[in-house]
Amino acid sequence: MTFIHRPRRLRRTEAIRALVRETRLTPDDFVYPLFVCEGEGVRREIASMPGCFNLSVDELVKEVGAARGEGIRSTILFGVPDEKDPVGSQAYAEDGITQRAIRAVKREVKDVLVIADNCLCEYTDHGHCGVVEGGEVLNDPTLDLLARTAVSQAEAGADIIAPSNMMDGFVEVIREALDDSGFEHIPIMSYAVKYASGFYGPFREAAQSAPQFGDRRGYQMDPSNAREAMKEAALDFEQGADILLVKPALPYLDIIRAVRERFEVPIAAYQVSGEYAMIKAAGKLGWIDEERVALESLIAIKRAGADIILTYFARELGGRIG
């Protein structure tokens, strides 16, 4: 048999495979999400996210420092306050848990990038991402609180603000508030395309942020919609988002690719808690090779077009690549 084309010629050895490899992961691609809670010496494992913890500020500093030592430079912080109220006051309190965490990490760990998640759901007693009236999540009254939160996060030392709340107009309002307070140099990484997803389940346990009534379908996107994702991304781009984020990641590779092709800004993808939990669970049962499947998922997310990947595997796998 003579075939002119034999693709297997380029797969014969690891050396040749490495030579023609199109996509590679490096630790610089990763952002490490961490949950910070009140107290001291707290390192409480999250049942549905083995290997992830609720950390008090002192433990958080240790974790970020250790990850930094292993080559992971970026972290995104989620606050888990003890006190919640209807308007999420702790989200924008000067001495809120997130603000204290940002200050401590920036003070104690050298050369680390701290991203602040900007949302109210971890801070409200009803668990919704905005102000609630008569069972409705109100858009415009929420914007002012998100803007205050962004400014207080920047004041605490956050390097990037990442609004994840899905209220209309949030990028514009946060940009304006940051600029008015002298933070025109602080980028916004917008969760532009965020689906109402079952894959957030374990996160809500971790952040104790499950909605107490109803669900988030009134503000997060319908998983059936792709055209609408382009509209959401375009709006945030026009309002000045510096980085556009798609979430979840693996079930939405088509969306990551489409956003990548349409917008000339860095694209981030969030491999969310449910994606992590599924890989961990099947790995623990011995049903899959956990590390292999995790790396394959991450390379798929990058191949689809993500420049930045938020992943709970960041520290564990950071040392295994690049």
Binding residues (CB under 6 A) for ligand PBG: these are: 117, 119, 121, 164, 200, 203-204, 216, 272-273
Judged by beta carbon, residue 60 or residue 245, the one nearer ligand PBG is: 245
Judged by beta carbon, residue 11 or residue 222, the one nearer ligand PBG is: 222
We find the least distance from the C-beta atom of residue 201 to ligand PBG, in angstroms, to be 7
We find the least distance from the C-beta atom of residue 34 to ligand PBG, in angstroms, to be 11
Counting every residue, how long is the chain? 322
Q: How far is CA 53 from the centre of its chain?
A: 16
SS (H, E, C) the chain: CCCCCCHHHHHCCHHHHHHCCCCCCCHHHEEEEEEEECCCCCEEEECCEEEEEEEEHHHHHHHHHHHHHCCCCEEEEEEECCCCECCCHHHCCCCCHHHHHHHHHHHHCCCCEEEEEECCCCCECCCCCCEEECCEEECHHHHHHHHHHHHHHHHHCCCEEEECCCCCCHHHHHHHHHHHCCCCCCCEEEEEEEECCHHHHHHHHHCCCCCCCCCCCCCCECCCCCHHHHHHHHHHHHCCCCEEEEECCHHHHHHHHHHHHHCCCCEEEEECHHHHHHHHHHHHCCCCCHHHHHHHHHHHHHHHCCCEEEECCHHHHHCCCC
We find the least distance from the C-beta atom of residue 117 to ligand PBG, in angstroms, to be 5
Which of 62, 84, 106, 247 is the catalytic position? 247
Which of 84, 194, 280, 302 is the catalytic position? 194
Which CA distances in Å does 282 have to 67, 84, 204, 278? Answer: 25, 35, 21, 6
Judged by beta carbon, residue 16 or residue 47, the one nearer ligand PBG is: 47
Judged by beta carbon, residue 142 or residue 273, the one nearer ligand PBG is: 273
194 catalytic? Reply is: yes
We find the least distance from the C-beta atom of residue 251 to ligand PBG, in angstroms, to be 12
231 catalytic? Reply is: no
We find the least distance from the C-beta atom of residue 35 to ligand PBG, in angstroms, to be 10
Judged by beta carbon, residue 52 or residue 64, the one nearer ligand PBG is: 52
We find the least distance from the C-beta atom of residue 84 to ligand PBG, in angstroms, to be 13
Judged by beta carbon, residue 219 or residue 237, the one nearer ligand PBG is: 219
Catalytic positions are: 194, 247
